[in-house]
Amino acid sequence: MGISLLEVAGFIGGTISGNDDIEIKSLARIEEAQPGDLTFLYMPSYEKYLATTKASAVLVKPGFDKTRSDIAYIEVTDPNKAFSKILIRYFSPEFKLTGIDPSSFIHPDAVIGRNVALGKNVVISAGCRIGDNTKIYHNTVLLENVEIGSQSLLFQNVSIREGCKIGSRVIIHPGTVVGSDGFGFFTDEKGVYQKIPQIGNVIIEDDVELGSNVSVDRAALGSTIIKRGVKIDNLVQIAHNVIVGEDTVISSQSGISGSTKVGSHCILAGQVGLVGHIQLADNTIILAQSGVSKSITKPGQYFGSPAKEVKTALKLEAHVRNLPGYVEKIKELENKIKELTEAISKLKSEE
């Protein structure tokens, strides 16, 4: 059973060109699409696939050159966003875990909301509170006094340690740990490392998504806070007492050191590292493989290690790439100076 192209176009506010009597059965990338699929074009580098795609319909920008008459087109201002909206509305996966598996353990002091689903070997410890319509998949462990809001989704092998608070509509993917000890030690008079107890917690606000194998450390004192709407990719480390502002996105293999404050609407691309005890202004973008060594107070794009404003960083990078040529040029200039100096000396000696 599919969705009519007319319904799809009406939902995203698009305009159809070509046959509108089409049923959309699935979504696909343009190079992989088959009959019955809807695809999209938003980057020029993918236009080469239009000649061979088997898709029944394609989302394009207004005024796009429609070279094929056997494909229906939906013109929309932003095909990429429109495609995502269609995916969310009509093709989102359903997570069908229901009921409470008999192998799960629920402490008598725990409070479980309505329509909560627990998979195999889930452990709910004393003092935990779980909101309505939350699904927790197998082998997940919640230690004492964990609070989880409504409509959240915890996948397999998630661990949430004592005292942590998880908001509503939060998604946590497999292997993630919330509330592990912060990395706190000091050396005694013999130079031996002694552990500093980490007695704070982690607060994850509403509508946050944590990828797989993310570590969010509990605070030494107070709270590590992931604010509303933050999206964190796989393999990210958030250290103790970090605060991540609303609607910030953090990509894979990034790490944030202790007590750093990241503003709202920031983007940390892949393999970004932030030192501790600094601040990032709202609307800051740190490009991939950059290292931030001091606070950034001016919004904008930054790149490099240490990170600099992107225009400056790219100029420096260009100069570094050209260093071999600079060396040759300098040698040539040195030789010319030497020749001129010798010529001047010779002229003076002949006078």
Residues with a catalytic annotation lie at 240
What are 126's two structure tokens?
A: 């004393």
Q: How many CB atoms lie within 10 A of CB 164?
A: 24
- In angstroms, the CA 114 to CA 120 distance is 19
**φ, ψ (nearest 5 deg) of residue 288:** -55, 145
Residue 191 DSSP symbol: S
Q: Cα dist. 55→31, 93, 122, 212 in Å?
A: 9, 22, 43, 33
Half-sphere CA count of 13, side-chain side, radius 13 A:
5
Instruction: Check if the beta carbon of residue 207 is closer than 8 Å to that of residue 173.
Output: no
Q: Which residues of 244-272 are buried (b: 16+ CB within 10 A; e: fewer)?
A: bbbebbbbbbbbbbbbbbbbbebbbbbeb
Q: Cα dist. 31→84, 96, 157 in Å?
A: 18, 31, 35
Q: Which long-range contacts (CB under 8 A, 24 or more apart) does 192-198 make?
A: 196/220, 198/240
Helices 310-321 + 323-350 axis angle, to 10:
60
Q: Cα dist. 281→261, 264, 285 in Å?
A: 9, 8, 10
